[in-house]
């Protein structure tokens, strides 16, 4: 099975909606890791609960960077997205206190970023928390921006032997802005970083033939039947993880 996830990182609503519309066209669900939109000073991002949660899974993307009061961050996000079952920390800030307080609020999984040459199923269950699972991602588009010679084609992703096994899951992590602007290299990313919270429609993937991150995503959606895609919560329920 394949689960496609997004770290929203306060991406503008128009960019998120446009990217998610690609999944809707293929009837494929995604897991959206949501940051606290109340902290987006640009005002270009908002709650997804009332707009996308009926078709896609909403999860949490708390920002603990430079924050020692973990409970306040958890409380605000859980209040904004009460149906969330899992999380992935923004900027990789994690730890036992953060984890414990997330589990106490009903969260059942965490996605931990890691870059591997191969693809792996969910990691071992934490023994102190028997109903809590840690998933590791084997592919992140932001890391591939730095990979020399990466062709952004399915040939770069040896998925065939894994996605047809319903007992295993392959996680592909994306950022909406990287897809929206069809980025191909770290140069593209650095050029867009100062205007991350704005929208440049003239440079969107809709205006040209995709050749980067969006090319890879479209190839995947076109090649793999929708029945092989799932969300992390659905996978956990079907696999009896919680």
- Beta strands of 100-144 (E only): which ranges? 109-113, 133-137, 139-140
For residues 204 and 185, what is the distance between their CA atoms, to the nearest angstrom? 16
Q: Are strands 2-7 and 109-113 parallel, antiparallel or unpaired?
A: unpaired
Distance (Å, rounded) from C-alpha 148 to C-alpha 161?
25
Residues 37-73: tens digit of each pLDDT: 998 989 999 998 878 777 899 999 999 877 778 898 9
Spatial CA neighbour of 67 closest among 108, 107, 95, 37: 95
pLDDT tens digit string along 199-234? 999 999 999 999 999 999 999 999 999 999 999 999
Nearest by Cα to 172 from 132, 209, 135, 146: 135
Tell whether the model's pLDDT for residue 127 goes beyond 70. Answer: no
| Structural contact between residues 87 and 60, judged by C-beta atoms closer than 8 angstroms | yes
For the chain, domains (ranges, CATH) are 2-238 (3.20.20.370)
Q: How confident is the model at residue 158 (pLDDT cuts 50, 70, 90)?
A: low
Q: What is the 3-state secondary structure (H, E, C) of 148-205?
A: CCCCCCHHHCCCHHHHCCCCCCEEEEECHHHHHCCCCCHHHHHHHHHHCCCCCHHHCH
| pLDDT greater than 70 at residue 139 | no
Name the pLDDT band for 78 (thresholds 50, 70, 90).
Answer: very high
- What share of the chain has pLDDT > 90, as a percent? 51
d(CA 72, CA 179): 32
Instruction: Name the one residue in this structure whose structure tokens are 């984890």.
Output: 99
Lowest mean pLDDT among 109-123, 168-182, 222-236: 109-123
- Predicted local distance difference test score (pLDDT) of residue 161: 61
pLDDT at residue 113 tops 90: no
In this prediction, residue 35 carries a pLDDT of 93
**β-sheet bridge partners, residue 6:** 32, 174
pLDDT at 147: 82
């Amino acid at each position: 099975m394949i689960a496609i996830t997004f770290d929203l990182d306060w991406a503008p609503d128009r960019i998120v909606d446009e990217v998610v519309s690609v999944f809707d066209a293929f009837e494929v669900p995604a897991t959206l890791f949501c940051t606290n939109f109340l902290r987006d000073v640009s005002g270009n991002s908002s709650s997804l609960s009332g707009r996308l949660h009926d078709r896609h899974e909403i999860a949490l993307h708390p920002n603990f960077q430079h924050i020692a009061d973990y409970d306040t961050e958890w409380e605000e996000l859980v209040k904004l997205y009460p149906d969330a079952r899992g999380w992935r920390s923004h900027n990789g800030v994690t730890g036992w206190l953060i984890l414990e307080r997330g589990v106490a609020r009903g969260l059942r999984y965490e996605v931990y970023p890691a870059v591997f040459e191969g693809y792996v199923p969910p990691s071992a269950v934490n023994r102190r928390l028997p109903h809590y699972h840690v998933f590791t991602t084997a592919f992140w588009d932001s890391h591939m921006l730095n990979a020399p010679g990466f062709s952004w084609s399915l040939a770069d992703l040896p998925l065939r032997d894994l996605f047809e096994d319903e007992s295993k899951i392959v996680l592909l992590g994306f950022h909406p802005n990287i897809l929206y602007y069809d980025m191909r290299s770290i140069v593209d990313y650095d050029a867009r970083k100062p205007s991350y919270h704005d929208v440049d429609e003239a440079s969107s993937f809709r205006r040209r033939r995709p050749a980067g991150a969006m090319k890879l995503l479209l190839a995947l959606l076109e090649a793999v039947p929708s029945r092989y895609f799932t969300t992390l919560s659905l996978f956990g329920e079907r696999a009896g993880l919680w």
